[in-house]
């Protein structure tokens, strides 16, 4: 196991440790690395990773380190939608959605672009000063988000803000459907 303290919940069995380690990663990791972090044998890690792939919880990708595992993006999105719908009111979700929309509109207006791809392309423009180029790079890198729940979502890019916008839109739909069902009982 690595030299740092374990990151899994106390009392977790081998399957829970493997699950916790792999689902908390943002980059694909190979079975050997996951096994070391979860304090299990490589064979044990592979057994549980294979089950998670079969259930659609993980994606398998080929990297320089061989076959690697990462959380399935659709499953992660659905978990986030559910968590947000359960933890926030319809008004909170609506306010956040509006804040994100205003933020994206601000970037479009400030930089004269209609998409993240255009913002990236604009960095190579000869008309930009070094300071302008740096500002655009910072927006792309950090998301430059000012919204209320920014820390909760751990944004790293403008595209993630757009994804968050999509997640919150889905949360609003889920929340409205849930409210209607409660009202009809």
Each residue's pLDDT tens digit, 51-80: 999 998 899 999 888 899 998 887 777 777
Tell me what pLDDT residue 162 has. Answer: 56
CATH architecture type of domain 14-71 = Orthogonal Bundle (1.10)
Determine what percent of the chain is predicted with pLDDT higher than 70.
Answer: 75
Please check the confidence at residue 149 and state whether its pLDDT lies above 50.
Answer: no
Other Cβ atoms less than 10 A from the Cβ of 106: the count is: 13
Each residue's pLDDT tens digit, 26-50: 789 999 999 999 999 999 999 999 9
Tell me what pLDDT residue 165 has. Answer: 64
**Cα separation, 139 vs 64, whole angstroms:** 30
Ranges for all domains in the chain classified under CATH 1.10.10.10: 14-71
**The pTM of the whole model exceeds 0.85:** no
Helices (H), the chain: 14-23, 31-38, 42-54, 73-87, 90-111, 116-122, 130-142, 150-153, 158-184
Each residue's pLDDT tens digit, 98-117: 787 787 778 788 888 877 67
């Amino acid at each position: 196991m690595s030299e740092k303290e374990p990151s899994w919940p106390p009392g977790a069995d081998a399957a829970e440790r493997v699950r916790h380690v792999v689902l908390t990663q943002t980059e694909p990791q190979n079975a050997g690395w996951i096994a070391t972090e979860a304090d299990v044998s490589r064979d044990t890690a592979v057994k549980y990773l294979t089950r998670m792939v079969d259930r659609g919880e993980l994606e398998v990708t080929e990297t320089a380190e061989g076959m690697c595992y990462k959380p399935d993006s659709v499953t992660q999105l659905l978990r986030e939608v559910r968590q947000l719908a359960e933890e926030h009111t319809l008004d909170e979700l609506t306010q956040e959605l509006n804040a994100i929309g205003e933020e994206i509109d601000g970037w479009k207006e400030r930089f004269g672009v209609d998409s993240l791809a255009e913002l990236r392309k604009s960095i190579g423009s000869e008309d930009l000063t070094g300071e302008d180029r740096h500002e655009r790079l910072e927006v792309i890198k950090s998301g430059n988000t000012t919204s209320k729940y920014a820390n909760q979502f751990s944004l790293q890019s403008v595209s993630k803000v757009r994804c968050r916008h999509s997640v919150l839109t889905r949360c609003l739909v889920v929340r409205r459907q849930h409210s209607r069902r409660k009202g009809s009982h």
